[in-house]
Amino acid sequence: MDGSGRETNRVLGATASPRFVSGFSTGSNGSQRLGGKVAVITGAASGIGKATAAEFIRNGAKVIIADVQDDLGHAVAAELGPEASYTRCDVADEAQVAAAVDLAVERHGHLDVLFGNAGIGGVLPQDDMASLDLGNFDRLMTVNARAVLAGIKHAARVMAPRRRGSIICTSSTFGVLPAPMFAMYSVSKATTIAIVHATAEPLACDGLRVNAISPGATRTQMLQQLRLLSETAPGLREELKRLAGKEAAAAGWVLEPEDIARAALYLASDEASHVTGHNLVVDGGYTVHK
């Protein structure tokens, strides 16, 4: 960079200054903040992924819903309309991640956004180090961390020639502030943040942005499963009471999937053209108060 900012603008793909109305950028497409963009979202058949797919489509994007829940995935695609389509994608298999990316390019001509959102919580509890299940740990790392890197790799493969693109990876507040009952999950999500930090600079040279979102307790199927499990695991019950109980809800720490979807929309849009290597924590202030 020569000090004028011209190199940074070139690297991060900035264009002419967007218009702003009431504090929100309208860009060149009015309210369509992702007008003309194509996105692949993994884990998009439910929860945060589904909410993000809907938010992206409302803002003008075409979305490939990538998931392993076939019936649900097809139903979500039908629900969201002609701008959505479903493909089966087990993110633990790199070839399937590559195929989802290639499908977006084949069907729509290019890929602008990859949201690596698929993840698992693993077998609980995870706080007994003396009897740690390394098979469970390996599975967590494969789905929550290695798959993120595979997504970055294959998104970069098709985005770099066009010198533009946004890659978003779902981490967790547990990746920022580990929770003992979720120790190995916390490790996998901290690794996701590390991957984002490590890949952001080299990919900036190709005009790409890489960021993470770390949601707090969010009303998803995973949270519901944890609440059911808490009925038979007293230790987990106390952990969840702090994370997602009445006090947490009253403090605003329990989020809706749409809250995370709006954060993803920002990172996917041109409004975030200078944001890369960042972990956007969306938790109602839980980690700050903790």
- Rounded CA-CA distance 287/242 in Å is 12
**CB neighbours (10 Å) of residue 177?**
17
Tokens at 104, concatenated: 């977006």
Active-site entry in 166, 171, 172, 269: 172
Active-site entry in 37, 50, 86, 185: 185
> For residues 110 and 158, is the Cβ–Cβ distance under 8 A?
yes
Active-site entry in 171, 188, 189, 214: 189
Alpha helices in 205-256 (DSSP H): 221-230, 234-244, 246-250
DSSP 8-class letter at 19: P
Closest CA to 64 of 88, 47, 40: 40
- Catalytic site includes residue 230: no
DSSP notation for 253-269: -SB-HHHHHHHHHHHHS
- Catalytic site includes residue 189: yes
The strand order across the sheet containing 279-282 reads 84-88, 62-67, 38-42, 113-116, 165-170, 208-215, 279-282
- Catalytic site includes residue 62: no
- Rounded CA-CA distance 155/98 in Å is 8
- Which residues belong to the active site? 172, 185, 189
